[in-house]
Amino acid sequence: MFKKIKQKSLQKLTEKNIRERDLSRVNEPLKRLGFLVDESEFQEFEELYDFAVALGIQRKDVKVFSFLESKKKLPSLRQNQIHNRDFTWKGEIHNQNAQEFLDVPFDVLIGYYRGANEFLDLMVSASKAKFKVGVAEADPRLYDLIIEIQPDKVTEFKAELKKYLKILNKIA
């Protein structure tokens, strides 16, 4: 029962965030880049940092934050990670690192996960990012650009994203 209540709360907060989003700075050039990743699908975070460097962004201006459905028993050194237990039944986030990530005004935020994930969808909608990019099967209300490539096809995704960032004058 609590799971259903939590899902409804997450959906309501996501809808609210979508309605209240500020679109006035969506055309800013790319200087800060953020990635929201479902860790059960993708763990090669170093590839994302390398890609950002290839786009001409310094590593210090790139942040990767991951979601894992349930916390592993083994201790993790990852600080930029959130779990389903970090969300209250009201949909509020109780993770300081996640809150700090969402408050960063990224020029581009990439939701690098497949399909709908109510936890990550809420985080994307709550982010202060100016321009948001999603992958195949993503909710079009959350993103300004959706690249129809599955997240496991990293090389193709990088090429397409770079192409669109150039077209949109986000990168030189």
- CATH value at residue 125: 3.40.50
Does residue 135 register a pLDDT over 80?
yes
Domain that holds residue 134: 2-21+30-167
Does 85 reside within a domain?
yes
pLDDT of residue 100: 94
**Overall number of domains in the chain:** 1
Beta-strand pair 62-68/108-112: unpaired
Does 147 reside within a domain?
yes
Does 48 reside within a domain?
yes
Does residue 95 register a pLDDT over 70?
yes
CA distance 32 to 63: 8
Does residue 85 register a pLDDT over 60?
yes
Q: Could you tell me the two tokens for 168?
A: 């949109």
CA distance 95 to 71: 13
Q: Where are the alpha helices (DSSP H) in the chain?
A: 2-19, 45-54, 96-103, 118-126, 154-167
The structure's pTM equals: 0.89
Does 172 reside within a domain?
no
Tokens 């090669």: give the residue: 44
Does 101 reside within a domain?
yes
Does residue 55 register a pLDDT over 80?
yes
pLDDT of residue 78: 62
Does 16 reside within a domain?
yes
pLDDT band of 96, cuts 50, 70, 90:
very high
Does 40 reside within a domain?
yes
In degrees, rounded to 5, the angle at the alpha carbon of residue 17 between the alpha carbons of residues 3 and 140 is 90
Does 17 reside within a domain?
yes
pLDDT of residue 32: 94
